[in-house]
Amino acid sequence: MIDQALQALRDGKFFLLYDFDDREGETDLAIRSDAVQPKDILRMRKDAGGLICTAIHPAAAHRLSLPFASDVFAKTQLTEEIGDIPYDRKNHSSFSLWVNHKNTFTGITDRDRTLTITAIGRIVNDAMAGRHTSFSSQFRTPGHCPILRAADDLLRQRRGQTELSIALASMAGVTPAVTICELLDDRTGKALTHEDAKSYAQKHGFAFVGGNDVLEAWDGRAGTLASAPVHGHADGSAPAARARAVHAEGRDD
């Protein structure tokens, strides 16, 4: 189903992304960020029910000076430590900032989140193209749309939905910003099972792709920081220092 998932990204349609049996064991509803519409936010909050996040390419994060949340709060006693994430003991979470576009009202409505998420997609596209842009001129924090910053070495470094989705976007040749939301089970209060997620995909005609499928197709380079050298920030400042620790997408929201 890898080809169908790549085509869904190109077409701006939903697909389902499962990580690994020995990791979260969760399936995310995923869509290219710059294609998101209010009806898509509605589907994610109604059908999926998890946290609606936007994963971005590491080079874009560097160029836009978007930090990891764990670095922002490093001086507090609240920051997660290596080993705290039960499904990935070697890594921190990939959460960056939670933002609203400055033209939103509350930031939480379907239309407001659509505005914020599609604007993230556009600014990531500008950053990847090396165009001059300013994140702070368009967005404010705190907000209602969490940004996930993919690991610099992508799937060689960690294997969360953040990295899997950015690897797929890079292979598809689209803007590497993907909005994802965990599929939850109303009956059990847990994540939707692998089989039930597959049934949902079949019912709605969505492609279903697993982490192992992505690893098999990925060439080990697409979507990594090395594949998009950072010469400077999109606002013209010097490149940010590399994160001092390997970071992993966290669900401790």
Distance between CA atoms of residues 195 and 63, nearest Å: 39
Residue 161 CA to residue 17 CA, distance in Å, equals 7
- Taking the C-alpha atoms of residue 99 and residue 144, their distance in angstroms, rounded to an integer, is 6
Active site residue 204: no
Could you report how far apart the first and last alpha carbons of the chain are, in Å?
Answer: 30
If one counts every other C-beta atom within 10 angstroms of the C-beta of residue 104, the result is 22
Task: Exactly one of 87, 110, 194, 235 is catalytic; name it.
Answer: 87
Of 28, 34, 40, 112, which one is the catalytic site residue? 28
Helix axes 161-172, 2-11, angle to 10 degrees: 70
Catalytic residue selected from 26, 34, 53, 249: 53
Identify the three-state secondary structure at position 66: coil
* 53: annotated active-site residue: yes
| Residue 182 designated active-site | yes
Which of the residues 110, 126, 144, 235 is marked catalytic? Answer: 144
List, in sequence order, every beta strand (DSSP E) within the chain: 15-18, 27-32, 53-56, 95-101, 139-149, 177-182, 207-210
| Rounded Cα–Cα distance for residues 3 and 177 (Å) | 19
Q: Catalytic residue among 100, 125, 181, 233, which?
A: 100
Beta strand 207-210 pairing with 95-101: unpaired
Q: Is 54 helix (H, G, I), strand (E, B) or coil?
A: strand
Do 92 and 68 form a contact (C-beta atoms < 8 A)?
Answer: yes
Among 34, 182, 213, 249, which one carries the catalytic annotation? 182
Euclidean distance between CA atoms 119 and 125, whole angstroms:
10
Active site residue 81: no
Catalytic residue positions, numbered: 28, 53, 87, 100, 144, 182
